Amino acid sequence: MLRLTAMEKKLAEYKCNTNEAIKLKLVRFPEDLEDDNTTFNPEYSHQVFGDDEVAFGYKGLKILLYYIAGNLSTLFRIEYTSKVNEKFDCVEADDVESKIREIVPPGFCTNTDDFVCLLEKEVNFRPFGMLLHTYSVHNEEAGEDITYQIYKADMTCPGFREYHERLQTFLMWFIETASFIDVDDERWNYFLVFEKYNKDGATLFATVGYMTVYNYYVYPDKTRPRVSQMLILPPFQGEGHGAQLLETVHRYYMSSPTVLDITAEDPSENYVKLRDFVLVKLCQDLPCFSAGNLMQGFSQEMVMEAQQKLKINKQHTRRVYEILRLRATDMGDAEQSRSYRLDIKRRLIGPYKKKQRELAKMRRCLRPEELTNQLNQIDLNMQHEQLEENFQQLVSHYRRVLERLAQA
């Protein structure tokens, strides 16, 4: 038993955290290959390496996935200091290479020289599709404004299918429940963000992020674009590119008479925060959202104008109203504060009222000893506490949206 325990301890030394082992880069210059400052790691690797996010059988494991910044041509290499097969009989290391090959498309480089040769051809790369929007962001470190562009592409663009196969591999590392889409379905739209930069006097483009949108049919003659995947690559996060991308996509669909409204598939908490900011920014100048109208309460006019002009559905319009009404409300005024609180809580209480209706049905079916008045009272108290907590969290989030809006 002691020998087994000692063996287990030795084998445990050959377990590697795959989030730490995977080294990602977006390479612009040959010197980036040796620069640790250009390396970043995944947030997730469970979809490739299992829930434990562990690769067994290696010491000092490094899984190098380096991408040329623009066209995303890939260098894939595995390095390690020791492998379990070389030290122990009848113990096999995980086949790390096969797992990576399942998501990385063929045609990647396995040695640095070939990769650098491809890097020299990067000057010929140009973004795919139709230019929708150009904007700039001031870079404090560089002391200058950097230009970015957003394009709409589809699978008819020469080379885009292969580029997208490389781009979508990032989803596995940064979206918790990612999956690859069926690119042969023509109802997909692709929106891409690129940075323009200079290299030896030439203008080149680096991939920043992207969004996929599926156009659902709505009877009888409309479509409902649904955002499926959205990713801004880690080196560019926190610079406002997500908001620029989402607003650009909204503006693209706003011009289409066949679009009913724009939704999102299983949105994350971060996406909801981003959407709140973008939709409030778009709606704030609509006449129906004037301060006077906001203080009169949520109206059908708001629903109609937001839907017709901006393709925003009723649920999202309601959130926009709540955020803009908070801005118009003097929370230091007792009456205005009370009116706002009641207005929001009337919406929030909906699920609790539903639960009370369910409890009322249970009372008719259960014996008194099974469902006492005391239990109901405790339940109501808990609901009131939860309602107040939800309200405070919502207002806190709304304030952050308004703070960001004030800085925009």
- The residues assigned a catalytic role are 265
| Nearest one of 229, 236, 230 to 206, comparing CA atoms | 236
| Nearest one of 307, 292, 210, 201 to 262, comparing CA atoms | 307
Q: Cα–Cα distance between 72 and 233 in angstroms, integer?
A: 12
Start-to-end CA span in the chain (Å): 65
Which residues does 151 contact at the CB level (< 8 Å), separation at least 6? 127, 128, 129, 130, 131, 132, 191, 192, 194
For 187, phi then psi, to 5°, come to -85, 0
How many H-runs (helices) and E-runs (strands) does the chain carry?
A: 15, 14
Q: Cα–Cα distance between 378 and 137 in angstroms, integer?
A: 53
What is the greatest pairwise CA distance in the chain? 83
CA dihedral 237, 243, 245, 248 (to 10 degrees): -160
CA 120, distance to chain mean position in Å, is 32
Q: Cα–Cα distance between 280 and 289 in angstroms, integer?
A: 10
What is the chain's length?
408
Dihedral sign for Cα 178, 179, 180, 183, please: negative
Residue 195 contacts residue 246 (beta carbons within 8 Å): no
